Amino acid sequence: MVADLADDPGTAVADEVGGLYVHADVTNPDSVAAMYQAALDRFGTLDICFNNAGISPPDESILETELDTWRRVQDVNLTSVYLCCKATIPILLEHGGGSIVKTASFIALMGAATSQISYTASKGGVLSLSRELGLQFARQSIRVNALCSGPVNTPLRQELFAKDASVRRAGSCTYRWAVSPSRKR
């Protein structure tokens, strides 16, 4: 099952794998509950849950980022993960275990050459939350992992790099650091 706010790409991905698409806003507890209920109705159980939704709006510095941007980024990138885990862990426990994977970021470990303060903080939260849930539920056969991927050319990254040339240069420096810390300048 694929769930997203963006119906066209979500449906295309679900169709490609012969799966189910569900429109869902992962910041909304009712929408999260409905999404997992749809999966249970169709497939009878859950084995693997991948919490991947994220946004990266203009968020340049703590000196400029306003509270509404901060809150929106925490909602989509971090609170969504809390809501999804709260909804899925009872289901996984009932069915004997499973796996939860989240998308954090290399930024959670290293910080960014170009400040994205709310984004970085949200991904640090995803990583810490994953570590703790992994410890708490390991004995009940639930694995919890967070992926700390490097930069990938997606709409999210393009939104950040579209701003100006200095961001693109700093982004490329961040990328080199992600690949090889010793090459950081």
Compute the least distance from the CB of residue 169 to ligand NAD, in Å: 16
At residue 98, what is the residue type?
A: G
Encoded amino acid at 102, one letter: K
1 vs 11: CA distance, rounded Å: 10
The residue among 96 and 184 lying less far from ligand NAD, judged by its C-beta, is 184
CA dist 136 and 140 (Å) reads: 9
**Choice between 5 and 138, CB closer to ligand NAD:** 5
Closest distance of CB 20 from ligand NAD, Å: 15
Cα 118 to Cα 16, 26, 169, distances in angstroms = 34, 18, 21
Angle between helix 29-43 and 80-94 (nearest 10) = 30
Query: Which of residues 81 and 142 has its CB atom nearest to ligand NAD in the complex?
Result: 81
Select 21 or 137, whichever has its Cβ closest to ligand NAD.
21
Q: Minimum CB separation from ligand NAD for residue 95, in Å? A: 24
Summarize as ranges the residues that interact with ligand NAD (CB under 6 A): 4-6, 24-27, 52-55, 76, 103, 105, 149, 151-152, 154-157
Catalytic residue annotation = 119
User: Which secondary structure element, helix H or strand E, spans residue 142, and what is its range?
Assistant: strand 142-147
Reading the block at residue 130, the tokens are 């994953």
Kindly state the smallest distance separating residue 27's Cβ from ligand NAD, in Å. 5
Residue with tokens 């899925």: 88
